[in-house]
Structure 1
Amino acid sequence: MKALISIIAVILFMLPVEAECAEKKVIRIGTDNTDLILQVGDNGRLYQSYLGPRLRHDEDLTRFDWYRHAASDGSVSRRGWEVYSASGNEEFFEPALAVTHADGNPTTYLYYVDSESKAVEGGTMTVINLKDDKYPVNVTLNYVAYPKENVIKTWSEISHSESKPVTLSAYASTMLYKSAGSYFLTEFSSDWAKEAQMSSQQLQFGKKVIDTKLGSRAAMHTHPFFEIGIDGPVKEHSGEVIMGTLGWTGNFRFIFEVDNVGNLRVIPGINPYASTYELKAGEIFTTPEFIFTVSYDGAAQGSRNLHDWARNYSLKDGMGSRLTLLNNWENTGFNFNQDVLAQLMKEAKDLGVDMFLLDDGWFGNKYPRKDDRAGLGDWEVTHDKLPGGIAALVDSARNAGVKFGIWIEPEMVNPKSELFEKHRDWVIMQPNRDTYYYRNQLVLDMSNPKVQDHVYGVVDDILTENPEVAYFKWDCNSPITNIYSPYCKDKQGQLYIDHVRGVYNVLKRIKAKYPDVPMMLCSGGGARCDYEALKYFTEFWCSDNTDPVERIYIQWGFSQFFPSKAMAAHVTSWNRNTSMKFRTDVASMCKLGFDIGLKEMTPDELAYCRQAVANWKALQPAVMDGDLYRLVSPYESNHAAVDYVSKDKNLAILYAFDINPRFQEKLLPVKLQGLDPDKRYKVEEINLMPGRRSTLARNGEVLSGDYLMKVGLDAFTSSRNTSRVVKLTAME
């Protein structure tokens, strides 16, 4: 009885406290290093009160005001950092959400309802429910915090129960705020063969917008990630930096807005351009995931945070190994036959790689794929070119002792194809205008379930008939042109969104049935590079530009957000002014492949490549699964250097490149990072051409990690386009 009385007393005591806490409720979304603190204001709405280094004491979480501004007359304004601000309210700046209700009212006010947290793989998920007080519109904010990796991902879900559909004209994934003296944006612009080019600028009052409107090959001109330096430009090894990326393979938009009192808001999400979305009652509109980290030790630590998170939780087979390969494209183009390919498979074995990859040109009969003008969409083997079909190629690969992979571009169609003749209604194409062709092709309407079945069938048919096919290179060479969907009919504003969702539907089906088949994500180079797509792909093709000098810059940019095992790089004949060693060393920093004829190599070059492949396989614990340290930037020097360090710090690899040294330029030692200062490492230059001895000072010596990080190695030379690969092995 006493126990019951005590319980009742406790409940009665808690009731007013809970009511008070509901008014001042604080929600902490935290990692081991960062806190994102949200607070319910006394008006019942949800505000961000803090984003920064993790607070040590819980009592400090409540010492924030949810409003931050002063009105022009000096009084306190009730405007604040609303977590998911909607259009039509008293906020003066860019909203996250814009809804036109069934009765035509364009205003929305979101109020806090409840929240909960639960453990998920690798972290904690927080779910927050908001609703409008006048209309039955609901928004659920989702956050997953990964403590060890210091990464947070967030997305929103929008739904309603109004009598008729509502119209969404803005639907961001989230909103983040920061108050500082200045903000510097690093963005990543792109074009074919010129991906991930980094540039920086200070954000001033007003809005800076990065967006894309290309639909399918969406990241061709700009990539879906950014860095923001707080109180100074982004630095590699020091300073606070916010690094964010959006998991969306279609049109995206980032808004960076500095307000009238110098605060910054960041709004990432789908680009609503030509995409007003009619949301039915009961339907849930789910925004893409926005993934971000806050580093207090520069972009380098932020990159390592994202790399670890990707390998552990996002990238397909993120903890698995990767296949080296020989591709035939640069060697043969469209001109090959069954015998030629069988011989190339033997060359792949001779080179020491794991797989032969057949590229474009293997399909089509009524309209054979002899160039890029015909055949796309007709996924049957060209009989007179490959009479034995894929089965014979698989047999040849098996006999040669390598695996077999194949190129596909299943989302696209040439007008000169049987598929186009039979299913014009499956193609995105305007009915009453002249058709514009990008690269002689059009895009299939992936919003159409019948098209999704067809695209899924391309992969399913190949693997059903040839279960030994070990790899797919999935290409996407055209943006959406002639924007009109026969399937969407009177809801054209939904095409850009439903098209991408259709792509995901197909990829989910493929992964469910064939979970262990690796696939490369390609889009005329690196125009698809996001973490939603990479749930279904083991790697992506960074660029068609394989000039090793240009690749140093391209890989430097992509490495800001992606681990090396997600980035495919091939040794080719681009830039023959550089040596085979230089080209191979650059590609060895990523997932290594070759796209070159072995017959054009000298015996020494072939011997070198064989040894480089063997070395790369032995170095996977560092290069593929270790920590990356960018040491010398090609943007700031005539050289470049990085090192990879295995998680146990027993193995490290230094890559050093002389790009274009100046005459009598002073050469500084390269100071390594990430080593154990108390371990002793044997220094050994590897990837040497046959008959060449290392000229690296300290080669063969055993040096402490402390010395290597504080004094370094004289790894650079005064010769143009030369490279060094140095292996450091911890001694017992």
Structure 2
Amino acid sequence: MNRKHITRFDYLLILYFFTFLLSPSFAQKVTIPIATADHMFLLQTDNQNRLRTVYFGKPIENESEWESVSSLSKYDENNSGIYNNAYTPAGTWNLSDPAIQVKHADGNTSLELKYVSHKQEQLDGNVTLINILLKDPVYPFEVNLYYKVWKNENLVEQWVAIKHNESNPVLLQKYASANLFFSNKDFYLTSFQGEYLKEMQPIENKLEQGIKTIDSKLGTRAMLMQTPNFMISFGHPASETEGTVLLGQLAWSGSFKLDFEIDSNKNLRLITGINPFASEYSLAPNKTFTTPSLIYALSNNGVGEASRNLQDWARKYRVLDGQGERLTLLNNWEATYFDFNENKIVGLFKGAKDIGVDLFLLDDGWFGNKYPRNNDDAGLGDWQENKKKLPHGIGYLVKEAKKEGVKFGIWIEPEMVNPKSELYEKHLDWVIRQPQRPEIYYRNQMVLDLTNPEVQDFVFGIVDDLFVKNPELAFIKWDCNAVIFNAYSEYLHKQGIPQSNLYVDYVKGLYSVLERLRAKYPKVPMMLCSGGGGRADYEFLKYFTEFWPSDDTEPLERIFLQWNYSYFFPSITTDNHVTDWGKQPLKFRVDVASMGKLGFDIVTDHLSPKDRIFCKQAISNYQTFKNIVWHGNQYRLVDPYKNDIASIMYVTKDKSRAVVFNYLVNNRFNITATKRPVVFNGLDKNKKYSIKEINLYPDIPSTLEQNKVYSGDFLMKAGYNPDVNLKRTSVILEINEVK
């Protein structure tokens, strides 16, 4: 082109052209895969540089085609904002429910988040960490989206880190952990509701347009009435062996909120995180707020595969000593409650050794002097041995237990205080309570303020002191029986920190204590307990080896409870105790409790001679198959909600051994419950197997042909009849490869 012929208009045209090329609307799309072995999310920037979820399904293998996915869907967004935003902000373009809502230091409530960059780190051959940086173009405010992907387990852990550099604190009004989007047709949600003694009751609903909310405002725990565990099935109701399924859990030990929204286009938006109720969080400049994780396992082959993926991941990567061993124990709680003394406890050690357990656990009631712990209305907070009950202290009991060949463990509830205690009298400012309101008690107690570093030191000191004085102490049962009423922190008030930080900082303070304890005592087994269960998640299980599913130990109800917990937790984490609850025979009770970490809450001296023989033999049998239950693949074969029996199977990874638990759960009409065979799963079709009934009660022979050999193919197609009936209400089968 001849320079002298270029006009001013030509320059403007050229300038406009290059500006257009460099503008966000012309910028090349950035596509980010979040991919496991069998599933893929595709995140992609749009022409405004906002990050969207444009695909969920089986992996698209050709990377060159990823960019084309977003053009396949045609939605009108003019009236609603963007439904498929990867992390939806409030106050600007968006009109749907946000994942994050803030009030800036200057009082402005608008937020925009634009893609800046991302990086991917391959942690090993199986694990990938993806970090996506989003920034507000006006305010110095940023959000980092994290996705940790376990390829082989088809599992994703997702969380968010929020930071700003404004002149003063920013108020986080909502701060979700994840904002997922699914464009599949028809969604079915299974949530798990409950109450004391009725935890983890499943409810399945087809999601319709609008928002379905599952939440908790309890403060100290998550799972008592509603739980942070959920199941989504795509296209049709959940099936054990068929269909696309997502099993999820918010790994947070306090108040939570899960929102399942079917939008106007009948897609699903899932926003999960800490419950923002009464929890607007004041975030100081240059401080980072990290949300809890949303953890979810995916499967194209039904709920069973998804739960096995989740259980495998938990054992390998999350649960403390998840691939290790556990102790069988005898607990004194239902044997004595608060009514015991030193001699009575020592007298129980011999019974523990006699039936063959590893450990004796001393439960509630061992502490307090000015206000002795003789019932549940006094003593919490005063963690000194009661001199009347235990004149020689805990150390004496540890030594006496050792003489009998069993280890010794102890119960504590260190986050709590009774108003009738020396701690309450000395440190009223350590108690969560509204100073202008009447005190409200849950089980006659209140919650200590773990936002306060002094209280954190006190709680750490309770456990540390026990171990310093008794280095051979082998087990801790950590209880929590109260929720937060009249939420108010004297510590936060004195520090000038808003009271709305309390619910979040309480849980973070507890985690801080547990971090310190595990740094000093990394291997000691600890059970996480809470009145009636309701306190288990994958953040807590970094620090605890196991948890107490429910105070309901009636064995028939326990079959259903343990069935539901098994969707989300491996059996090695669930404490199952044999007690005197219910009308089922001892064999039934022991068999049910053997589907996890076995324990006893009975007076062994009250056992009949045959019951004693059975217990000893059952514990001996348990030692031979416990590792199959703890570390094997679990298959839920026959659903007790739909059948007269329940059947659950555990198979070793090499498919050489298995154990199958079968129970009668309904005897209203059928004297012979197993009219049909139980079809097994998880075996090798080309291997041969023998089947033997174990845990037989003394002098009662099996009705089954023992040690007959079957092919794995036969057992997984034709099945096997365990002959469960009114006279044989519980049948355990041991399966061994025959070479």
| TM-score interval, normalised by the smaller of the two chains | over 0.9
Q: Which letter maps to 2:480?
A: C
CA contact (8 A) 1:649 1:675 kept: yes
Q: 2:245 aligned to 241, 251, 263, which one?
A: 241
Structure 1 residues 682-712: Cα deviation after superposition (integer angstroms, max 9, x where no partner): 100000001111112x432111111111111
Q: 2:348 aligned to 344, 353, 371, which one?
A: 344
CA contact (8 A) 2:575 2:599 kept: yes
| 1:67 Cα offset (Å) | 8.8
C-alpha separation between the residues in 2 aligned to 1:403 and 1:667? 45
Counterpart position of 2:544: 537
1:34 aligns with 2:39: yes
CA contact (8 A) 2:676 2:721 kept: yes
Superposed, 1:447-486 pairs within 5 Å as 447-486=451-490
The alpha-carbon distance between structure 1 residues 699 and 418, as it changes in their structure 2 partners (threshold 3 A), is same
Structure 1 residues 615-647: Cα deviation after superposition (integer angstroms, max 9, x where no partner): 112113310000000011111112100100011
Structure 1 residues 256-311: Cα deviation after superposition (integer angstroms, max 9, x where no partner): 00000101001110000000111110111110011001211111111001000000
Counterpart position of 2:680: 672
1:589 aligns with 2:563: no
Structure 2 unaligned segments of length 5 or more: list them.
Answer: 1-20
Superposed, 1:246-257 pairs within 5 Å as 246-257=250-261
CA contact (8 A) 1:329 1:595 kept: yes
1:159 aligns with 2:163: yes
Counterpart position of 2:650: 644
CA contact (8 A) 2:26 2:47 kept: no
Structure 1 residues 450-480: Cα deviation after superposition (integer angstroms, max 9, x where no partner): 0000000010000011110011000000111
Counterpart position of 2:11: none
> Is the deviation greater in 112-121 or in 228-237?
112-121
Superposed, 1:358-507 pairs within 5 Å as 358-489=362-493, 491-507=498-514
C-alpha separation between the residues in 1 aligned to 2:327 and 2:230? 30
CA contact (8 A) 1:197 1:557 kept: yes
Structure 1 residues 24-81: Cα deviation after superposition (integer angstroms, max 9, x where no partner): 1111111111112111222111111112222233333222117945328xx9998351
Structure 1 unaligned segments of length 5 or more: list them.
Answer: 1-15
C-alpha separation between the residues in 2 aligned to 1:245 and 1:548? 26
Counterpart position of 2:236: 232
Superposed, 1:576-655 pairs within 5 Å as 577-655=583-661
C-alpha separation between the residues in 1 aligned to 2:94 and 2:74? 12
Q: Which letter maps to 1:639?
A: I
Structure 1 residues 334-381: Cα deviation after superposition (integer angstroms, max 9, x where no partner): 111111111211111111011001100000111110000100010110
CA contact (8 A) 2:477 2:528 kept: yes
C-alpha separation between the residues in 2 aligned to 1:67 and 1:650? 48
- State percent identity of aligned pairs: 48
SS of the aligned residue for 1:520 comes to strand
Q: 2:664 aligned to 650, 658, 661, which one?
A: 658
C-alpha separation between the residues in 2 aligned to 1:661 and 1:52? 43
SS of the aligned residue for 2:374 comes to coil
CA contact (8 A) 2:328 2:358 kept: yes
C-alpha separation between the residues in 2 aligned to 1:720 and 1:211? 44
C-alpha separation between the residues in 1 aligned to 2:581 and 2:642? 24
Counterpart position of 1:85: 88
CA contact (8 A) 1:219 1:529 kept: yes
CA contact (8 A) 1:48 1:66 kept: no
C-alpha separation between the residues in 1 aligned to 2:403 and 2:98? 61
Counterpart position of 1:9: none
> Is the deviation greater in 670-679 or in 27-36?
27-36
C-alpha separation between the residues in 2 aligned to 1:117 and 1:531? 24
C-alpha separation between the residues in 2 aligned to 1:493 and 1:77? 30
Counterpart position of 1:564: 571
C-alpha separation between the residues in 1 aligned to 2:269 and 2:83? 11
Counterpart position of 1:107: 110
C-alpha separation between the residues in 1 aligned to 2:104 and 2:266? 33
SS of the aligned residue for 2:167 comes to coil
CA contact (8 A) 2:645 2:674 kept: no
SS of the aligned residue for 1:570 comes to strand
The alpha-carbon distance between structure 1 residues 720 and 254, as it changes in their structure 2 partners (threshold 3 A), is farther
C-alpha separation between the residues in 1 aligned to 2:650 and 2:410? 31
Aligned length: 713
| 1:251 Cα offset (Å) | 0.2
Q: Which letter maps to 1:611?
A: Q
CA contact (8 A) 1:41 1:66 kept: no
C-alpha separation between the residues in 2 aligned to 1:218 and 1:193? 15
C-alpha separation between the residues in 1 aligned to 2:281 and 2:726? 57
CA contact (8 A) 1:540 1:567 kept: yes
| 1:103 Cα offset (Å) | 1.6
CA contact (8 A) 1:428 1:483 kept: yes
Q: 1:290 aligned to 272, 278, 294, which one?
A: 294
Counterpart position of 2:101: 98
Counterpart position of 2:187: 183
The alpha-carbon distance between structure 1 residues 411 and 666, as it changes in their structure 2 partners (threshold 3 A), is closer
C-alpha separation between the residues in 2 aligned to 1:480 and 1:648? 47
C-alpha separation between the residues in 2 aligned to 1:507 and 1:169? 28
The alpha-carbon distance between structure 1 residues 65 and 77, as it changes in their structure 2 partners (threshold 3 A), is farther
CA contact (8 A) 1:675 1:705 kept: yes
C-alpha separation between the residues in 2 aligned to 1:720 and 1:447? 56
SS of the aligned residue for 1:622 comes to helix
1:61 aligns with 2:70: no
SS of the aligned residue for 2:227 comes to coil
C-alpha separation between the residues in 2 aligned to 1:249 and 1:464? 28
CA contact (8 A) 2:83 2:269 kept: no
| 1:21 Cα offset (Å) | 11
C-alpha separation between the residues in 1 aligned to 2:197 and 2:634? 24
| 1:382 Cα offset (Å) | 0.4
C-alpha separation between the residues in 2 aligned to 1:66 and 1:48? 12
Superposed, 1:6-17 pairs within 5 Å as none
| 1:20 Cα offset (Å) | 11
C-alpha separation between the residues in 2 aligned to 1:77 and 1:166? 26
TM-score normalised by length of structure 1: 0.95
SS of the aligned residue for 1:605 comes to helix
C-alpha separation between the residues in 2 aligned to 1:188 and 1:77? 31
CA contact (8 A) 2:181 2:269 kept: yes
